[in-house]
Structure 1
């Protein structure tokens, strides 16, 4: 959700970074604008990065599209977007309030931050969850291209070779194409992360993750439509629908053994290590995924794709990152 950046950038997108090299909890693909590249003044790469990280949040309304090509199966305890393309509508007042609407198979999820309380409404089961602002789920930030890209920049900048590769048109707006490539010391499956930065507001409009040896995006998130300007305050107020079930959610509830995962390492070879949820009916399916692996850390199963690796251990831990197997096992052994 496009709420205050200081709250958005932190643990919310950190887990995503482990999945896709610094970003990856679930994001999407946006086709680049057709036609000639916009003519923009030259800009120094480091100056562009600094301007993005220092930019003030803007009031806006937009549509973001997500194309998740990570190729990972659904795993219990692993936060990720579904494979394929999805769409979200986003509103922000440029301060602390925001709204995201996410279509589901048979309904819609609505996420609202009114500045004090975070509300999550699921039309399928007619359930409302609420919790104090700052403790809410990752879903809202994962839907916001600006939050995802800013988080990627902050996390990858110290271990990256940074350049500007021309310009592009994103959602009808001229943008600089900022490129971050892993330094030679990084152990990652990724080749580069590209961020299209709005030339006027210095807000990321699109983020693309590319794997080594492939020209197709493994993960891409961006706006297909965006308008900057004041938004109707009513968008950021939420009243539970009549007959809705209301739950006061707290971190660690709903079967979560450990609400906070651990980030091991930094930069491109960051690994997310988390406790799996309590074993349930889904757990036996893991026996058909990946291949068995063992080490000083224990035993489990390794599941891989072109851009990510996952180990699910027999003692109910999960390690995931855009890294080779060795980096995962080292993280589990710590």
Structure 2
């Protein structure tokens, strides 16, 4: 199988950079089912041809990265790096609704509260029932040197996560098809991606692909030397009919505290494989290496505001030579004293070596 090599931001690091990516999660696939055999190329073609654009369903997260439990985000706080870390430990449940390419809603079900993210065209809201607070996220004003909301909402779904891992598939990845199974009541092929790079923490990534539509139903990431999946994302129920349009309308409840924030510019995409191996983006972000062993390097100026001072993040950082680090069974992040940040699906030692080489 031949696929173009691409640089990529490791899929599990995306929540640290994107405001809207606040949840990933899943459960194990169900009982084995019988399906006509397909090759890996045929299953990949099914994913590429999927026509599913509108759907709704329930997602359940399981994360076993060896990190301590992170408390739920405090009242009144909009999604960001701190809240994203909350979903890197334990289990969480959410409902997701996607209408046309500009409409989506995510409902995160906490033990005693609910958080909602609603995207409707160039308008977005984040609501926290814990303190009845709402944040209105607005696209930048016309003429400002920033980009508007993406034309397709970046909801954390198995499809979005699967596409990021598939972007890493190259000659250094063994791609096979395993036993078929049932996910959210639908029969699915299981596509397995196994990195050949001995330097990555990833043992394999399994993608459950709906046998009828080619729509990814679940993603399960296995770390080396760990029996249970380190990170998973899958539907527990799924409807492929268009959700009620009213779900994408939001009016702050009576008495709620409303804050308005203008979204910043989105990060410039990482250069593709035709550019220099370490070519920087206009924001100074660099990628060292390719595929599963790649390391993302952000200069201090490109690091999200409040990343190093966030109390939730501080709970999972350890002091190391030259800075602080987050280490887990699947991902490592190195925050240097000079403000630079390095991250990858690699051991901490590889990040330290990359930092010393700069």
Whether 1:154 and 2:178 are equivalent positions in the alignment is no
Report the CA distance shift for 1:248/1:276 in structure 2 as closer, same or farther (over 3 A): closer
After TM superposition, the structure 1 stretch with the greater mean CA deviation from structure 2, 59-68 or 314-323, is 314-323
Residues 62, 89 of structure 1: 8 Å contact kept: yes
Distance in 1 between the 2:293 and 2:126 partners?
A: 32
1:115 match: 121
When normalised by structure 1's length, the TM-score is 0.78
After TM superposition, the structure 1 stretch with the greater mean CA deviation from structure 2, 165-174 or 239-248, is 239-248
Q: CA deviation at 1:187?
A: 2.1
2:339 match: 316
**What are the equivalent positions in structure 2 for 1:2-17 lying under 5 Å apart?**
14=9, 16-17=11-12
Equivalent residue in structure 2 for 1:28, among 21, 25, 29: 25
Whether 1:141 and 2:160 are equivalent positions in the alignment is no
Q: CA deviation at 1:182?
A: 0.4
Task: Please list the CA deviations of residues 55-76 of structure 1 after superposition, one character each: whole Å capped at 9, or x if unmatched.
Answer: 2233211000111112235699
Task: Please list the CA deviations of residues 76-117 of structure 1 after superposition, one character each: whole Å capped at 9, or x if unmatched.
Answer: 957432410001101112533111101235422111122332
Task: Please list the CA deviations of residues 204-227 of structure 1 after superposition, one character each: whole Å capped at 9, or x if unmatched.
Answer: 101000011222100011000111
Q: CA deviation at 1:157?
A: 4.8
Equivalent residue in structure 2 for 1:217, among 224, 229, 232: 229
Report the CA distance shift for 1:312/1:72 in structure 2 as closer, same or farther (over 3 A): farther
2:47 match: 52
**What are the equivalent positions in structure 2 for 1:250-289 lying under 5 Å apart?**
250-251=263-264, 263-274=287-298, 275=303, 277-278=305-306, 280=309, 282=311, 289=317
Task: Please list the CA deviations of residues 215-273 of structure 1 after superposition, one character each: whole Å capped at 9, or x if unmatched.
Answer: 210001100011111221111222233343131322179xxxx9996544331113333
Equivalent residue in structure 1 for 2:252, among 210, 232, 240: 240
Q: Which runs of 5+ in 2 are unaligned?
A: 1-5, 16-20, 72-79, 140-146, 267-281
Distance in 1 between the 2:294 and 2:23 partners?
A: 16
Residues 58, 229 of structure 1: 8 Å contact kept: no
When normalised by structure 2's length, the TM-score is 0.73
Equivalent residue in structure 2 for 1:190, among 202, 206, 224: 202
Quick check: which one's strand share is greater? 1
After TM superposition, the structure 1 stretch with the greater mean CA deviation from structure 2, 320-329 or 169-178, is 320-329
Q: Which runs of 5+ in 1 are unaligned?
A: 1-9, 294-298
Pairs aligned (count): 305
Residues 18, 271 of structure 1: 8 Å contact kept: no
Q: CA deviation at 1:301?
A: 3.0
Distance in 2 between the 1:96 and 1:236 partners?
A: 10
Distance in 1 between the 2:334 and 2:327 partners?
A: 9
Whether 1:178 and 2:191 are equivalent positions in the alignment is yes
Equivalent residue in structure 2 for 1:68, among 63, 67, 74: 63
Distance in 1 between the 2:22 and 2:295 partners?
A: 13
1:292 match: 320
Report the CA distance shift for 1:259/1:238 in structure 2 as closer, same or farther (over 3 A): farther
Whether 1:304 and 2:318 are equivalent positions in the alignment is no
Q: Per the alignment, in what secondary structure is the counterpart of residue 151 of structure 1?
A: helix
1:3 match: none
Q: CA deviation at 1:18?
A: 4.5
Please, what is the CA RMSD of the aligned residues? 3.5
2:213 match: 201
Q: CA deviation at 1:166?
A: 1.8
Report the CA distance shift for 1:283/1:227 in structure 2 as closer, same or farther (over 3 A): closer
Quick check: which one's helix share is greater? 1
Residues 331, 346 of structure 2: 8 Å contact kept: yes
Distance in 2 between the 1:284 and 1:118 partners?
A: 25
Q: CA deviation at 1:281?
A: 7.4
